[in-house]
Structure 1
């Protein structure tokens, strides 16, 4: 059954219903409400009834939900949900199970029909009056027409299945978001219990309480040499400069707050190895972050970053960099040259149009997720990432149309997602991806390999492309041999002509004298003797 987000995810539903960009659309909400009632579904962002009549139960159970600070913190924590919802709004509502099952069955029927048609084309006898080469060209044209027609017929059914899968992924996202909101609420309750009656005070008193708590944690961390500090989900709006005076700090988690800036003093955390500042309001990172020479794990997802500072390239110990769910349009030019130890790079859900060529120098990179961007292609030298095991390039939509020939050099690639793009053909070197075990090519206008090969799975695709690669190499070798022979013959003729030009005149005269040539005196004397 299709889950009911309003009942299964009450906190997410409550928070999303209070987003200004959504609650202001009264006409849309009314229309969506009537539709939801008819289909027995509930939109997580548009509750069936106004909050005053339909949601007091959740507020009664969790009264602190009315706290503006807590609500703002929760809103930031589910930024990924709202962004994904925008995409789903564009794609349409979730199809019912009957439509999905019918679509899958129809796809199977079309593929079976296509296989039968292709078999008939192959077995059709060649008329005696038609040349074999012309007949093969005719067969190839017929096969292409059949494939194109089948692909057109399947397109609408595949779209239904894909949309259902995306909604299923959205439900999983909702589940994770609900868990995050519960943790945030529990953390806020702990803060309130520790502060006595301060929870009913004004904004100024609330800020002062948070500040006092943070100061207390700082003092404890500085005095006891704490290695880990967790201030996630505390509604923090700023960090005091004193944070930079805890030299023994190894792990700092200040995610899911309302931070709009990180102080430059963070450079004083000389032993910091893990920094989590995801789900905040950050529009930029301080240049001083490049002084964190021991930093291995950096999480900055779910912010408003339009760019990463060039100084981040100085964090040469980085192993994991998560910059997903931001507004990035590019990566630092030298990021690949300066981060030799980076193994995991997550940049999904941004606006990146191209990857810098230096990315190809990340010899330690094993995991690269760049889905939901605007990539127009990959660097030509992408094949240098010989340790890459996971690559997600899905949902770059109309922008990603082809892959470079060096793609086949990714010899350790085991999982690849290319769905929802405009790729017409896989590179000829694709068959060299021996370790590839998982492949998603859905929602691409693929012509090479043909659909009947794609539908048989990754092993068949690799075999087909490998055979094609061998055929190409053999054809190139044949052409090379022909060119060498032609050059050899041309060289022999040139030498022969040159030799004839240099033959002495008396020899030529001896080999082919004409009757009109007068005989010499000696010749006449010999004739008389004979």
Structure 2
């Protein structure tokens, strides 16, 4: 790579590397970023306390100061993350220039390729202007697709195309989406994938009829809280970004969402509200930094496809409610640090595809895992029944004691009832019916 040896390139790269190193060191000193839900609640407490300034304060001073500290830590993280992103961008630009053989200290001239690019830009702008003129003349414009055309700017006037239902400007060079996009009252499909977007406007929450939103493969570090107002959404793709968290209330509002892709981000947790997405059919969160799942994940009663693979050393266990995902058909947990599946795992009777590769599993044993999904379900189901029967035995023994309570616990009653419900399927498992050879690795069908 001879370009890397040019003095101007070396100087620029040295400065950029030093800035990247300094920003990363500062972030390491700060420690882990506070949980987003904790930050939101702390901000709300601080805002309420500030509004009550001079009056009677309901929050103890110590608690209020702790909330302020959380907010300050979050803002400091934001500042250094922005510095890191800017420094990494400069380093990438230096490297790209070196590969193209450019001298960074020489001004760029308008060569033939630049002139050609300018010509392309003019052609694209003509198409955009033609659509806007058509709308101004009262002619219907329901769909506008301008894909892979190096579009750099989306005019504010697009927000005035009242009949627009589909807007697809994927694979361009957009860095900003205008606030006026919130004026597209009838918009149902918005595709912004593979651009250079750093943020989305808050006005996106005004798109109440939006059903499909694709913002994948951009540079987003967060989604606006207002996105939760897009209650008609059934598909949301925010994959291949730099998201550190999802909006706290996203699950409470997007109750119609069917498919959610958030893979290839930097998520360390999913908000607890995600458990309220009762319509969710597919959740893909692979290749993040997830440390766990919300404890109520089992409330996702419609979930059929779940990919949590490649969260590596961060994902170590699954919540007890995991066994309540009774409609789950496909599950990928590969490349994590899971030591044991939850005892309730055997309840996943509809599970057809399971990938547990590259986990230090001890429960179930690897010899069971190697036999495939049916063997795992059978083993975990038998384990679950053994646990329930042992609890029943203890309860009976306690009931016969003079000090025993007059009624069994509600949990035990539910458990014994469930034993009766699954006894028929257990006979089928243990008699060898429906057993198959080792299942293939989980297919990527979405």
TM range (shorter): 0.5 to 0.7
Change (3 A) 1:404 1:245: same
Change (3 A) 1:477 1:278: same
> Is 1:473 paired with 2:388?
yes
- 2:333 and 2:297 map into 1 onto residues whose CA distance is 15
User: Residue in 1 aligned with 2:30?
Assistant: none
SS of the equivalent of 1:259 reads: coil
Change (3 A) 1:399 1:199: closer
Counterparts of 1:135-284 in structure 2, within 5 Å, are 201=115, 206-223=120-137, 224-284=139-199
Counterparts of 1:407-418 in structure 2, within 5 Å, are 407-418=322-333
Which is greater in Rg?
1
Q: Structure 2-normalised TM-score?
A: 0.64
User: Residue in 1 aligned with 2:236?
Assistant: 321
SS of the equivalent of 1:422 reads: coil
> Is 1:345 paired with 2:233?
no
Contact 1:414–1:436 at 8 Å: present in 2 too?
yes
Q: Which one of 283, 292, 296 corresponds to residue 368 of structure 1? A: 283
> Is 1:443 paired with 2:358?
yes
Deviation at 1:24, TM superposition (A): 6.1
User: What root-mean-square deviation, in Å, do the aligned CA atoms of Structure 1 and Structure 2 show?
Assistant: 2.1
Deviation at 1:479, TM superposition (A): 1.5
SS of the equivalent of 1:368 reads: strand
Deviation at 1:205, TM superposition (A): 5.3
Change (3 A) 1:333 1:312: same
Deviation at 1:301, TM superposition (A): 0.2
Contact 1:247–1:270 at 8 Å: present in 2 too?
yes
Contact 1:199–1:206 at 8 Å: present in 2 too?
no
Deviation at 1:204, TM superposition (A): 5.2
Once the two structures are superposed, residues 6-35 of structure 1 have per-residue CA deviations (whole angstroms, 9 ceiling, x without a partner) of xxxxxxxxxxxxxxxx99668xxxxxxxxx
User: Residue in 1 aligned with 2:97?
Assistant: none
Contact 1:309–1:332 at 8 Å: present in 2 too?
yes
Aligned length: 299
- 1:483 and 1:372 map into 2 onto residues whose CA distance is 48
SS of the equivalent of 2:354 reads: strand
Q: Which one of 299, 320, 342 corresponds to residue 214 of structure 2? A: 299
SS of the equivalent of 1:486 reads: coil
User: Residue in 2 aligned with 1:496?
Assistant: none
User: Residue in 2 aligned with 1:399?
Assistant: 314
User: Residue in 2 aligned with 1:462?
Assistant: 377
Q: Structure 1-normalised TM-score?
A: 0.54
Change (3 A) 1:489 1:339: closer
Q: Which runs of 5+ in 2 are unaligned?
A: 6-111, 407-446
Once the two structures are superposed, residues 267-309 of structure 1 have per-residue CA deviations (whole angstroms, 9 ceiling, x without a partner) of 1111000000000000000000000000000000000000000
Q: Identify the range of structure 1 (202-211 vs 263-272) with the bigger mean alpha-carbon deviation.
A: 202-211
Change (3 A) 1:243 1:480: same
- 1:320 and 1:453 map into 2 onto residues whose CA distance is 36
Q: Which runs of 5+ in 1 are unaligned?
A: 1-21, 27-197, 492-530
- 1:259 and 1:394 map into 2 onto residues whose CA distance is 31
- 1:348 and 1:490 map into 2 onto residues whose CA distance is 50
Deviation at 1:207, TM superposition (A): 3.5
Contact 2:172–2:194 at 8 Å: present in 1 too?
yes
- 2:175 and 2:397 map into 1 onto residues whose CA distance is 68
